[in-house]
Structures are given as structure tokens and as C-alpha cells.
Structure 1
Amino acid sequence: MLLQKDLNPALNTVTAYGDGFLEINRVRYDGAVCFSPEGPVRDVALRAAADIDAAFLQELLGLKPAARDPLAFLDEQPPAIERPDDAPEVLLIGTGPRQTFLRPDVLRPLLALGIGVETMTTQAAARTYNILMSEERRVLALLLPGDPA
């Protein structure tokens, strides 16, 4: 399905999708990709939504542990994560042709930082990304194309 007729070359736009592929800026991708409105489209070594864990998402977003008080372990709190200034407002995760929800322990660290996480089918995530991108929102998309039919 063709999504965007007009293309702003300065912004990453999902231009089409189909069974087992995505097209961003009219370039075809057959595997999982991660991208924001500006910057490169990155291939991601991910085959299924079940492979996503908290460490993967934190690395994907470039989140790092915050400096801690050496006695903080006495409070029995998990290590704090520092939220970068350029962190996205929302992370859209397209889980392929079927919506797959992520476990709460995977989402909790991002939600604690004020980063919204939405999981949906890849087609819905592609359409939602284009809308949020056109509204100049700080959005990051992680899209799994799913298996071709």
C-alpha cells in the first residue's frame, strides 16, 4: 500500500508497506528497522516482538544508567536511567501483521522516564508514525515487517 505521494527529502517517511517489507523514503527494507524523522534508518537484528526486552529498548534509545550514590543500594531501588534531552516523546513498535503486547517489565523503565510506548501492527504503526512526524513530534519507530504471505 502506498502511503505518501509527496515526499519531504529532509524527513524519514514511510512511503509504502506490504507483506514482509517496508519502504522508507522509497527505499525497500525487508527486515526490522528503527528510525526517527531525522537521521539514518537503521537495520535492527530483531525477528519477533518476543525478542524485545528492556535492555534492548534502552540500548536502542541510547539510555544510560544515571550516576548513583554509592549507598543507594540501601534503598533497594533499581538503577536509575538518565533521560537524554533528545529522547523521543513516544516509541512506536510495529510488531508485524499481528499486535503483540510487551511485558510490563520491558515497558516500565521507559514509562518512568516519560517516554510513551505504543505497540500495534506494523501497518498501524507506519501510519501513526507519518502522522506524528508530520506534526513535528519527537517519535521513534521500531517496525518489524512480519513474514511475507
Structure 2
Amino acid sequence: MQLQAESNPALNTVTAYGPDYIEINAVAYQHAVYFSPEGDIQRWEVSQVGDINAAQLRQIAGLENAAADPMAFLDGEPAQKPDGAPEVVLIGTGHTQRFLPRHVTQPLLELGIGVEAMSTQAAARTYNILMSEGRRVVAALLPLEP
């Protein structure tokens, strides 16, 4: 299904999806990908929802190298979202919505980063809307099964 006739070449836009592919900026990917409005489209080494873990979500959100303050708990304040971190991470789970376990999403939620799991079709549409509004969003999409 084609989502958008035109896209802004300066921003990553989901332009179509279908059985076994996701198209971003008119380039088809036949594997799972993650991306934000700006930057490269990254291959996501996940083939099914059960493969997703907390470390991968940190990577998708660009937090894999963010150092946590090991003494922060002494201040009694919740962890703070790092500068430049996304507001929300959208996970496209294929044809149907599949929720992620709490232990997988909790580390991002504690930082104030939303994590929403939905069908890939819904995630693609939601990403395009949030991206067009100038929101800091990251999408991680599993292709639709053929």
C-alpha cells in the first residue's frame, strides 16, 4: 500500500509497505529496519517480536552509549531523558499488534521515552504523522509477513 505520493527528501518518510517489504523514501527494504526523521536507515537484527529485548530498544533510541550515573539513585530523583533522545519509539510488529513485555520497555519508560507497539501498518502511518509534526520519533518496523 502506498502511503504518500510525495516525500520530503530531507526527512525519512515511509512511502509504502506490503508483503515482505517496507519502503522508505522510495527505497524498499526486505528486512526489519529502524530510523528517525533524519539520518540513515538502519538494519534491525530482529526477525520476530520475541527477539526484541531492552538492549535493542536502547540502541534504537540512540542510548546504547549513554552513560548512566551509577550514583543517581542517591538523589532520589528519577532518571532523566538524555538530550536528543526521542519522545517516543514506535515498534511495528508485523500484520498484527503484539505487545512487548514490561521488562523490555521499562528502561525507556523510566527515562520518559514512550514505547508503543502496534501493527507495522499503524506504526508506519503514526510515524509519518509524528515526523511531519516535527516530533522526535523513532520507528522500528518488522516487515509484513507474505
TM-score (norm 1): 0.88
**Which residue in the other structure is 1:13 paired with?**
13
Matched residue type, 1:115: I
CA distance in structure 2 between the aligned counterparts of 1:39 and 1:131, rounded to whole angstroms: 18
Q: Write the mapping of 1:22-41 to structure 2, written as runs, cut at 5 A.
A: 22-41=22-41
Aligned partners of 1:65 and 1:81 also within 8 Å? no
Matched, 1:98 2:96: yes
Structure 1 stretch 82-91 or stretch 97-106: which is displaced more?
82-91
Q: Write the mapping of 1:2-81 to structure 2, written as runs, cut at 5 A.
A: 2-63=2-63, 64-69=66-71
**Which residue in the other structure is 2:119 paired with?**
121
SS in 2 for 1:119: strand
Q: Which residues of structure 2 form unaligned runs of 5+? A: none
Matched, 1:132 2:130: yes
Matched residue type, 2:53: D
Matched residue type, 2:51: D
**Which residue in the other structure is 1:83 paired with?**
81
What percent of counterpart residues are identical?
A: 57
CA distance in structure 2 between the aligned counterparts of 1:51 and 1:42, rounded to whole angstroms: 17
Aligned partners of 2:97 and 2:119 also within 8 Å? yes
SS in 1 for 2:47: coil
The Cα of 1:61 is off from its aligned counterpart by: 2.0
CA distance in structure 1 between the aligned counterparts of 2:59 and 2:41, rounded to whole angstroms: 16
Aligned partners of 2:87 and 2:113 also within 8 Å? yes
Change over 3 Å in CA distance of 1:81–1:44 after alignment to 2 = farther
Decide which structure has the larger Cα Rg and report it. Answer: 1
**Which residue in the other structure is 2:107 paired with?**
109
The Cα of 1:139 is off from its aligned counterpart by: 0.4
Change over 3 Å in CA distance of 1:81–1:61 after alignment to 2 = farther
The Cα of 1:60 is off from its aligned counterpart by: 2.5
CA distance in structure 2 between the aligned counterparts of 1:135 and 1:62, rounded to whole angstroms: 21
SS in 1 for 2:117: strand
Runs of 4+ in 1 over 4 A off after TM superposition: none
Aligned partners of 1:23 and 1:29 also within 8 Å? yes
Matched residue type, 1:20: D
